[in-house]
Structure 1
Amino acid sequence: MVIICLCEGVTDRDVRDAAKRGAASLDDLVQTCRAGGDCGQCRADLRRLLREQTARPRKEER
């Protein structure tokens, strides 16, 4: 677990969880977990994490 947004204390796990719940943009992340809404230094990392999360094939539920 790595802190991605120092201003809000948001971790990579928090961002991945938000993406799993439907966050698909930086605006969504600001609304759901407050990441990226303050100084903006983390936005490149947030975009990368969102891309990684949405590019992963989801496990089929049985």
Structure 2
Amino acid sequence: IWEALGKLSERQRAAIVLRYYEDLSEQKVAEILRCRPGTVKSLVSRGLGILRQEIEHA
């Protein structure tokens, strides 16, 4: 999974790690990344889509 995370943009990777690995709320992730919670949702959603593809093709 860490190898697949390397395929993401820096912001997608940060959002996913903060949201799921660090178990932070979308609001807290948004504060850390200095963006809106909706942006966090988009980053996580797109990032998870890329991770799914990478893992399926591994």
TM-score category by the smaller chain? 0.3 to 0.5
TM-score (norm 1): 0.40
Of Structure 1 and Structure 2, the greater strand share is in 1
TM-score (norm 2): 0.42
